[in-house]
Amino acid sequence: MRLSSVLGSALLAATVLAPALPAHAAAVPAIQITRVYYDSPGTDRRSNTSLNGEYVTVKNTTRRAIDLADWTIRDKTGYTYTIGDDVLLGAGKKLTLRTGQGRDSATTLYWNRRADVWNNDRDTAYVRRPDGRLVDSCAYDSTRADYTAC
């Protein structure tokens, strides 16, 4: 058997047996929406407890802290929360934005709204940089659960 035949057969076998990889893998965004809890437990009566049962969690997927000053989180309708100047999200850390009122901390921010933001059936959460560039989004269309993992 000729060497070219053996090499050709080996190349063909490697091509057929190799798993197909996508031409480009989707990059994980630096700030990723990981959960939208859109239907707080119990009856929605606009109580602060109910409003704070609604939230969005984002995660820093990088190995460095990210300054989130002037980044925004919004829904499809256009309700927009602008993150303040003093929010630095550490590498690998998560930050939760709750709809109602409360005292901001390093891991939780409060929108201070008196009405719901996230629709219970379908909506989309967006996170954008200060220049308006979309970093990540998470859409849901469900009435079977109270939250969606993104």
pLDDT of res. 143: 67
Spell out the domains of the chain, with CATH numbers in brackets.
Answer: 31-149 (2.60.40.1260)
What is the average pLDDT score of the chain? 86
Least confident of 12-16, 26-30, 69-73, 129-133: 12-16
Average pLDDT over residues 13-23: 42
The answer to whether 115 and 77 have CB atoms below 8 angstroms apart is: no
pLDDT of 27 reads 82
Q: What is the mean pLDDT of residues 116-121?
A: 94
DSSP collapsed to 3 states, 70-111: CCEEEECCCCEEECCCCCEECCCCEEEEECCCCCCCCCEEEC
DSSP assigned state of 53 = T
Query: The pTM is what?
Result: 0.81
Q: Is the pLDDT of residue 7 over 80?
A: no
